[in-house]
Structure 1
C-alpha cells in the first residue's frame, strides 16, 4: 500500500476501497455520545456515506485515522491515533494517520488554538477504537463458533488462548464490516493502558528529517505564480499612489496589482518578485496616529489614572478594605508588543476559478480562512475547499486569515493560481502582535498580615479584556476589584501563545510574592493559605479547581526541595490556564557575583498524559518560550513603524542560555486537559521571583534584560 500520509481524504478512501474493502468506522466528532457506525468501504469511496470522520482497518492490517485538527508542532497528529490504537489494542507499527481537510459536515472544531483539541476529542477517539475492537472480536467469535468471553485482543491480533488460534485484524476486517455496531461500548480502564503514557515518536518525523513536502512553503501547483506584497511600512498609513512601471519591466514579472491597502508583485519566482517589489514606487498618507513606544508609556499612565474602566469582577467592598488596611502594597507591571516569529513565515496558496476556490496552506483556523475568502470572492462556502498543510509554528499568528485573503485577492485579480510568500521581515513587521499591556496592582493587609483587599487594573492595546478576572486569587479575597481599560491602537494585535495569561500570570504571581513578603510569609505557604481560605469560605465564584491547584503547588515544592537547598535562590509561581495547572520553581545561583538561572522545576497537572515524549516537549518548549520572551523579547515602535524587522534586531533566547528544565506530571486519572500553552504563563514569575531572592531587585517589566535593576546585575 502506498504511503497514505501524503494523500487527501478522498484519495485515501479510494485506496482503501481498492485494497479490498475492509472495516470502515464513521464516528461523529461533534458528539461524544454518538456511536460509530459500520459502513461499506465501496460506499465511502464513492462518497455516498455522510460521516464526520473515519477509522479504517484494511485487509493489509493498516489502521488509519483521519485527523481533522491542524498540526503546528503540538503533536496532535500523533496523539489522536495513539488514543484510537490504545482502545483498539492495535500494533502501533501498523497505525497511519491522514490530515483531514476542512469539512464542516464531517468534522467539528477544526481549530488549533486554546489547547483544546485533545480535551474535545478524547472520548470520541476512545469510542472509535473500542468499537472497532468489539466488532473484530464478534467476527472472530462467529468464525470460531466460541463465546466472545473466551476471546482477547493484543497488538493487532484477535486471540483464542484455549485453542491457540489467532487472526490478524486485517483477516477479520471484511467480516467485521458486515456486523451491526452497538450504540454503547465499554472503554478500557485507564490502569490497563499500554500505549497511552508511553513515549512515541512523532508520526511525521521521518518525512520532516528527509525533507519530504509537508509544509505550506512546500506547496507547488502546476501553473502557479508567486506573489509578495508590500504593506504600509507603518501602522496608521494608507495607500496614496503606486508607480509600478519599473517593476513590471523586470524579468519574470507577470503583473503588479493593488487591493485594499496593499500592493502585490506577481511573477514566476520568489526571487524575481522580491527584487521587483523593491522597485515599486509607493506613496502613503496618514490615516491614523503614528504611535511610538514613548506614546504607549504615556497612554498607559493616563489610562491607569483616568481611563474609563470596565468592571470585570467585584467582590465585597474593596475601597473600604483599603481604607481600613494596616498596610497597602502597590506595584505596576508592563510588557511590550511581541511578534509571533514562527519558523515558517506566513504563506498561502489560492486559486480563484470561475467555478470556485481552492485554498492550500498552513492555517490554525481553516473555517475562518474559508469564510473570509467567501466574502472576497462571493462564492458560497461549499464552493471553496481548504487543504490543510503541516505548519512550521503558529503560536496564535495563524489563527488570523489575512495571509489567506491576500492570496485570494491576488489570484482573483490576476486570474491565476498564486502562492503568497512573506519574508521574515514581512512576518515581523506585518502586525497581529501580542498586545502591549500594563497592570496596576494593589493589596491591603490587616494587622495580622491577612490579605483583606485586592485590586487589579489592566490597560491593553487592542487586547479586549486584558485581565482574567476569575483566576486565582479571585475567590480567595473577600474584597476584590478587577477592571480593565482599552486603548484602540492602529497597531494590529491578536492571540499570542496563552493569550493574555502569557504576561498576566507573571505579573500576578510576582505581585503575590510582593504581598507575601509584606505579610512576612513564605511564598508557597502564602498561596496555600489563600487556597484553603477559598475552599472553606469562598468569596464569590470559584472558576478553578482548588484541590488540583493545591496538589500541584505541593508537588512543585516537594520536587524542588523548596527552601532547603543551600546556595540556591528559589522563586515560585503557579497558574491555571487552558484547563490545566502548572507550578514552577526557578533556581538561581550566584556566579562571580552575578545571578545565573540554572534550573526550572515544573509540576504539571494536565490529566492523563497521552504521549510522554510529546508532552515533555510541550512543557519544556513552553518554559523556554516563556523564559526567552520574558528575558529578551522586545518590539518597539517609532512613528508607527517597528524598530525591529529581523532576528538581528529582535533578541531570541540562545541555546547556551537555556537552563535545565525538570518536568513532573501528576498521575490523577483525569481526562486530558490542555498542554500546548499552560507551561508558558508561570515561567516569567518563577524566574523573576528567584532573581529577587538572589538580588533583592524586583523585575516588574519585560523584557527583564531592559530593566535597570537587571542591567546592574549583568
Structure 2
C-alpha cells in the first residue's frame, strides 16, 4: 500500500526546495523540521484578549501589550523603531510587546507618511509622550485602588510598585486607567535611563518575512477577488487610438477587457491635480482575470494602436536642452550672497565643471500593485502606500465619494524609494473597481513597472569657482533638470555662508515624461557632483580635500545665518570621525581613497571610499561611513539602513543607466538595467556619533555622499575626472580625455 504524507511548505521553503530539484535540499528541510519538532512556540500574543487603552496601545489582563505602528513600513524599520519609542516610556518588556500595522486614522495619528526620512524625527517626542502618558494613567489607577498618592508609586517592566513594596500589573488596572482623565504634562525619561531605545532589536516582521507569511501588498487576497493588468502607452507622448481584445477574451481565465482613465483625467482637468498625481491623456486597456498569470497572458493577446498626442522625446533631446539652459540666462536665483560676477572677473583662475546624471527608475523589489473594492456603501483600499491619507483623499475625489466612505489599510511594502509616494496605481485600481464593482487586485509586471513609471529626473549641474591669491573667493552653481530644479533648502546647504560670493540658480525643462522623488531627492546626485568639484578645487589650491572642507567650516564659526540648514560643528565631527576610522591617507599600496561629506534630511554624513584596480578597472572594496543622526533608536536597524543606503548609492553611481528614445524607455528589465550585484558589494564600515540630540533622518542620508567619494577615489587611481554617471559606462571616455 502506498504510504502518503501531508507535507506543509512555507513559500520560502518551497522556493528553496524547488531551486535544487535533486532532492538534497528537501531532505535537509525535513531534517530541520524534525530537529525542531519538540520546541514549543512562544506565547502567541495576537491570540490574547486586549483592552483598548488608546489608538496606539492595547494591554491584556496578562500584561502583554499590543502597540500599533502608524506609519507605512517600506523596509526603513519604522514598524520596529516607532513602537520602541512608546514601549520605552510605557516601561514594558520588549518581549511582551506585539506590534501591529495601524490603519489610516487621521483623527488619532499624525503624519502617516513614509518619506523624507522623517518618521522617527517627527515622532520622537509625540510617541514617547504617548507611552509616558499611558504609564502615568496606569500608575494613577493603581494608586486609586491602593488609596494612596500616585507619587508613592513607580512603574517598571509592566509592574507598578508602591512604597510599601506592593505590586500590581498593568493588566490589573488597564480598564480603570483607560477611563481616567489624560494628564496634561508627563515627564519623559532621561536618555541615560533608556532600556529599549538604543538597544538593537530585530525587525518585528523578520519571522514572517523569512517564512513567507502574507505581509506585502502582493500577498493580500480575499474571497471573490479578481486580478487586473493594465496596458498603458508604450511611449510617453502617445495615446490609445484603438484596440482589439477578441483573442484575449477567448482565453481561459480572462473575465473581461475594459478601458479606464476618464475619471482620473476629469479629476486632473477640474483643477484638482496635486503633487502625487501621475497620469496621461490616454485611456488604458485593462484585462480582468482570475489570476495574475491569466491577466498577463490576456495583455499579450490584445492588439493595440497608438497615436502621437505630444512630442516623443529622447535622451539626446534632453542633453541638448539642458546644455542650452545652462548656457542661457533663464534661471531662478535661489540664493545670492556678495557679487559672484565680480569675484569671477577679478580671479587669478576660474575653475568650471559640468556634471550630469540620467533618468533612473525606482525598481522596487515589489512592482506596483493595489487592492480596491468599490460598492454603493464604501470604498476599501488595501495595499502599499507611502501616503495613505493623500491616496484616500484623491480616490474620494476621483470617484466623487465622501471621504468618510473611503477606508485605507496599509500593508508592508517591498521597497518604495519615493515611487509609492505617487498614488497613480491606487487611483487606477479604484477606477477599475468602480467599473466592475468586484474586489480587484491591480498588478503590474516588471516590464510595465519599469517603462511606464515615475523616474528620477535627468539633471546637469555646472559649478564655477574663482581663486584669488590662493583663496576660494567665488562659487556659482547652476542646475538644469527635466521636470525638476534645485529646491530652495539645497541652496542653503554647504558651502552656503562659507564663501563670501555665493550664488545658486535653477532652471527646469517641462517634459511629458513623469518624474518625481527618488531616494534622497535632489541630493542623491547633487552631493556627488558638489564633492567631485570640491576635489578639483582642493587640487587647484594644493591642499587636501578634507582640509578644504574643514577650512570652509571654520569660516562659518560665529556666523548667525538662519537660512543655513546644516550644523558646522556636527559636520566637522563626522568628518574627523571618518578620517580617523578610515585611516585617511594611510592606506596600503594600490588602494586609492576618495572623500565626500554631505548634509541631508537633517543628518550629517561623511564617507571615504576605497577602490583597487582589477584588470585596469576600478572596484569599490570598502566604504567607511560616519553619521550624526542624533540618538540612534534601534542600532541594529540603523546599521542596516546606513549600509543599505551606501550600497544603493554605490550601485547606481557605478552602473545604473536609463535612456529614452522617441518617448520609449530603452530598458524594461534587469537584463538591460544593471543594479549592483552581490559580488560588487563593498564592505561598509559604519560609525555613529554618540550624543543625546533628538534623532534625525537615516533612510536616505548615507546615499548622497558616496558617489562623490567613489569618483574622487577613481581619480586618484586613474587620473580620470568622472563628471557623468554611471561611472563605469563613462570611465573610458574620461580616461581618454583626461579631464
TM-score by length of 1: 0.90
Distance 1:146 1:355, change over 3 A: closer
* Separation in structure 2 between the aligned mates of residue 655 and residue 487 of structure 1, nearest angstrom: 37
Q: How far apart are 1:78 and its partner, in Å?
A: 0.5
Q: Which moved more, 1:168-177 or 1:557-566?
A: 168-177
SS in 1 for 2:652: helix
* Separation in structure 1 between the aligned mates of residue 531 and residue 506 of structure 2, nearest angstrom: 18
1:367 aligns with 2:389: yes
Once the two structures are superposed, residues 135-179 of structure 1 have per-residue CA deviations (whole angstroms, 9 ceiling, x without a partner) of 33344445556665564433222345864x433322333443454
Q: How far apart are 1:54 and its partner, in Å?
A: 2.9
Query: Where does residue 224 of structure 1 map in the other structure?
Result: 225
Query: Where does residue 347 of structure 2 map in the other structure?
Result: 325
* Separation in structure 2 between the aligned mates of residue 427 and residue 585 of structure 1, nearest angstrom: 34
Query: Where does residue 534 of structure 2 map in the other structure?
Result: 512
Distance 1:410 1:142, change over 3 A: closer
Once the two structures are superposed, residues 231-278 of structure 1 have per-residue CA deviations (whole angstroms, 9 ceiling, x without a partner) of 111111111112212212221222211123211111111111111111
* Separation in structure 2 between the aligned mates of residue 689 and residue 576 of structure 1, nearest angstrom: 18
Query: Where does residue 45 of structure 1 map in the other structure?
Result: none
Q: How far apart are 1:587 and its partner, in Å?
A: 1.5
Distance 1:105 1:173, change over 3 A: closer
2:79 aligns with one of 74, 77, 82: 77
Query: Where does residue 177 of structure 2 map in the other structure?
Result: 176
Query: Where does residue 499 of structure 1 map in the other structure?
Result: 521
Query: Where does residue 213 of structure 1 map in the other structure?
Result: 214
* Separation in structure 1 between the aligned mates of residue 79 and residue 704 of structure 2, nearest angstrom: 25
Query: Where does residue 406 of structure 1 map in the other structure?
Result: 428
* Separation in structure 2 between the aligned mates of residue 89 and residue 604 of structure 1, nearest angstrom: 29
Give 1:87-486 correspondences, 5 Å limit: 87-143=89-145, 151-159=153-161, 163=165, 165-260=166-261, 261=282, 262-306=284-328, 308-447=330-469, 449-465=470-486, 468-486=490-508
* Separation in structure 1 between the aligned mates of residue 325 and residue 178 of structure 2, nearest angstrom: 66
Once the two structures are superposed, residues 564-601 of structure 1 have per-residue CA deviations (whole angstroms, 9 ceiling, x without a partner) of 23423221111111111111011123456554322111
1:542 aligns with one of 559, 564, 568: 564
Query: Where does residue 32 of structure 1 map in the other structure?
Result: none
TM-score by length of 2: 0.87
Give 1:629-640 correspondences, 5 Å limit: 629-640=652-663
Instruction: Check the 8 A contact 2:496/2:564 in 1, yes or no.
Output: yes
Instruction: Check the 8 A contact 2:238/2:310 in 1, yes or no.
Output: yes
SS in 2 for 1:686: helix
1:601 aligns with 2:624: yes
1:689 aligns with 2:712: yes
Instruction: Check the 8 A contact 1:116/1:673 in 2, yes or no.
Output: yes
Query: Where does residue 12 of structure 2 map in the other structure?
Result: none
Query: Where does residue 604 of structure 2 map in the other structure?
Result: 581
* Separation in structure 1 between the aligned mates of residue 704 and residue 409 of structure 2, nearest angstrom: 32
Instruction: Check the 8 A contact 2:79/2:101 in 1, yes or no.
Output: yes
Instruction: Check the 8 A contact 2:720/2:735 in 1, yes or no.
Output: no
Q: How far apart are 1:668 and its partner, in Å?
A: 1.4
Distance 1:144 1:414, change over 3 A: closer
Uncovered stretches (5+) of structure 1, i.e. residues with no partner: 6-14, 27-52
Distance 1:384 1:691, change over 3 A: same
* Separation in structure 1 between the aligned mates of residue 329 and residue 668 of structure 2, nearest angstrom: 32
Instruction: Check the 8 A contact 2:721/2:734 in 1, yes or no.
Output: no
Q: How far apart are 1:615 and its partner, in Å?
A: 0.2
Instruction: Check the 8 A contact 1:81/1:96 in 2, yes or no.
Output: no
SS in 2 for 1:131: helix
Q: How far apart are 1:711 and its partner, in Å?
A: 8.2
Q: How far apart are 1:642 and its partner, in Å?
A: 0.9
Instruction: Check the 8 A contact 1:434/1:494 in 2, yes or no.
Output: yes
SS in 2 for 1:589: strand
Instruction: Check the 8 A contact 1:90/1:155 in 2, yes or no.
Output: yes
Paired residues, what number? 672
Q: How far apart are 1:385 and its partner, in Å?
A: 0.9
Q: How far apart are 1:539 and its partner, in Å?
A: 7.6
Query: Where does residue 645 of structure 2 map in the other structure?
Result: 622
* Separation in structure 2 between the aligned mates of residue 125 and residue 326 of structure 1, nearest angstrom: 56
Q: How far apart are 1:636 and its partner, in Å?
A: 1.0
Q: How far apart are 1:117 and its partner, in Å?
A: 0.9
Instruction: Check the 8 A contact 1:698/1:709 in 2, yes or no.
Output: no
Q: How far apart are 1:113 and its partner, in Å?
A: 0.4
Q: How far apart are 1:281 and its partner, in Å?
A: 1.3
Distance 1:265 1:625, change over 3 A: same
Query: Where does residue 34 of structure 2 map in the other structure?
Result: none
Once the two structures are superposed, residues 288-322 of structure 1 have per-residue CA deviations (whole angstroms, 9 ceiling, x without a partner) of 22112222222222121125111111111100000
Once the two structures are superposed, residues 307-362 of structure 1 have per-residue CA deviations (whole angstroms, 9 ceiling, x without a partner) of 51111111111000000011111101000110101111100011121122111111
Q: How far apart are 1:466 and its partner, in Å?
A: 6.1
* Separation in structure 1 between the aligned mates of residue 605 and residue 222 of structure 2, nearest angstrom: 44
Q: Which moved more, 1:579-588 or 1:251-260?
A: 251-260
Instruction: Check the 8 A contact 1:242/1:282 in 2, yes or no.
Output: yes
* Separation in structure 2 between the aligned mates of residue 223 and residue 589 of structure 1, nearest angstrom: 57
* Separation in structure 2 between the aligned mates of residue 528 and residue 234 of structure 1, nearest angstrom: 48
* Separation in structure 2 between the aligned mates of residue 675 and residue 266 of structure 1, nearest angstrom: 41
Instruction: Check the 8 A contact 1:589/1:694 in 2, yes or no.
Output: yes
SS in 1 for 2:518: coil
SS in 2 for 1:348: strand
Q: How far apart are 1:537 and its partner, in Å?
A: 4.9
Query: Where does residue 703 of structure 1 map in the other structure?
Result: 726
Q: How far apart are 1:435 and its partner, in Å?
A: 0.4
Instruction: Check the 8 A contact 2:719/2:735 in 1, yes or no.
Output: no
* Separation in structure 1 between the aligned mates of residue 223 and residue 44 of structure 2, nearest angstrom: 22
* Separation in structure 2 between the aligned mates of residue 135 and residue 710 of structure 1, nearest angstrom: 68
1:662 aligns with 2:680: no
